[in-house]
Amino acid sequence: MTGPARVLFIGGLGRSGSTLLERLLGELPGAFAMGEVVHLWQRGVVDGERCGCGVAFGECPLWTEVGRAAFGGWDRLDAADALARKAAADRTRFIPVLARGRLRPDMRERVDRHNDLYRRLYAAVGRVSGAEVLVDSSKSASLAHCLRWCDEVDLRVVHVVRDPRAVAYSWSKVVRRPEAAEGSAEGEFMARWSPARTAAHWNAQNAGFDLLARAGVPTLRVRYEDFVAAPADTVAEVAGFAGLPDAKAPFVDDVTVELSANHQVAGNPMRFRTGRVELRRDEAWRTAFPAAQQALVMALTLPTMTRYGYRPVTGRS
């Protein structure tokens, strides 16, 4: 890879189908799926959680080589400093400042120090993998706003949205994290949020990506519901947007794909699944999510959900 690293950043709120989309994009010739890189410093370097290939992060040959190329080895990286750089620049509350046409000198210094880690990491992944496009499914709007200021990154954003009622239902469920190492800071289970909290995060993350698009970052919005209805067409559209117009995912038929092993560093547990997978629209929320909670989520997200094309009626209607 020469020139700026071409990064296809998958953004949005978790439980919106981002891991599934990344898995398909990672099968494209010329693309490499990195997983949720925003969590690499804690879950990978510090906690040693499992890579998508199944082995601990520190034992994965690919990530070992990336660490050597980027930092002289992961043991040479000050993980505490990396997390401090994130805390100083990559926060949701900083988005209004990061979205401006110019940064104040002190903020620019913090953003540049933060971005230096990603600049080195992306460049190393490009060299080790040989990929033209690096897929980062971090989802974080604040991270994307930070990367906007990095000249060494050719940033393109796929903004994934899903009906907020479906997202809230998913966040209410108990989901085990099979990759968690003993003593992991993230714990054995994925976080659970109340419907109100999920609605607040759904509003904030999507507003952040809408703002990023208005700031001039190339952005393609993908609705989960449209994606699972026509996965091959959606992947082809995203591939063209990423600069890989001729790349083809290994679809067996219109809704079935063959997934190979990967090296995603964090994300939904489905990143460990390989083999033939049939893509189906998950509509369980319509009957399993109480109508009162659906109504609450609708009330809290109404302006944005209708703008994205979602009907403000309960799934039981």
Would the pLDDT of 194 be above 90?
yes
Residue pLDDT, tens place only, 251-272: 999 889 999 999 999 888 889 9
**CATH code of the region 5-283:** 3.40.50.300
pLDDT at 317: 52
Identify the bridge partners of residue 257 per DSSP, sorted by sequence position: 251, 277
Give me the phi and psi of 33, to 5 degrees please: -90, 120
State mean pLDDT over 272-298.
Answer: 94
> Would you state the pLDDT for residue 21?
96
Could you give the maximum distance between any two Cα atoms of the chain, in Å?
58
The backbone torsions φ and ψ at residue 151, rounded to the nearest 5 degrees and listed phi first, read -65, -20
Letter string b/e over residues 276-295, b meaning 16 or more CB atoms within 10 A of that residue's CB: ebebeebeebbeebeeebbe
| Mean pLDDT confidence for 265-284 | 90
Domains of the chain: which residue ranges? 5-283
Average pLDDT over residues 154-176: 93
Q: What angle do CA 287, 255, 202 make, to 5 degrees?
A: 50
Mean pLDDT value of segment 281-304:
95
Quick check: 173 pLDDT over 90?
no
Question: Once rounded to an integer, what is the mean pLDDT over residues 132-148?
Answer: 98
User: Is the per-residue pLDDT at 248 higher than 60?
Assistant: yes
What is residue 176's predicted lDDT score, i.e. its pLDDT? 75
Sequential DSSP letters for 129-148: H--SEEEEEEE-HHHHHHHT
User: Are 26 and 32 within 8 A, CB to CB?
Assistant: yes
The pLDDT value given to residue 313:
83
**What is the pLDDT of the chain when averaged over all its residues?**
94
Span 187-208, average pLDDT: 90
Residues 17-59: tens digit of each pLDDT:
999 999 999 999 999 999 999 999 999 999 999 999 999 999 9
DSSP 3-state assignment of 314? coil
pLDDT at position 184: 62
Residue type, 177: R
Q: What is the pLDDT of residue 189?
A: 62
Cβ atoms of residues 169 and 285 within 8 Å: yes
Contacts for 107 with CB less than 8 Å, ≥ 6 apart: 89, 94, 97, 98
How, if at all, do strands 256-259 and 133-139 pair?
Answer: unpaired
- Band of the pLDDT at 179, cuts 50, 70, 90? low
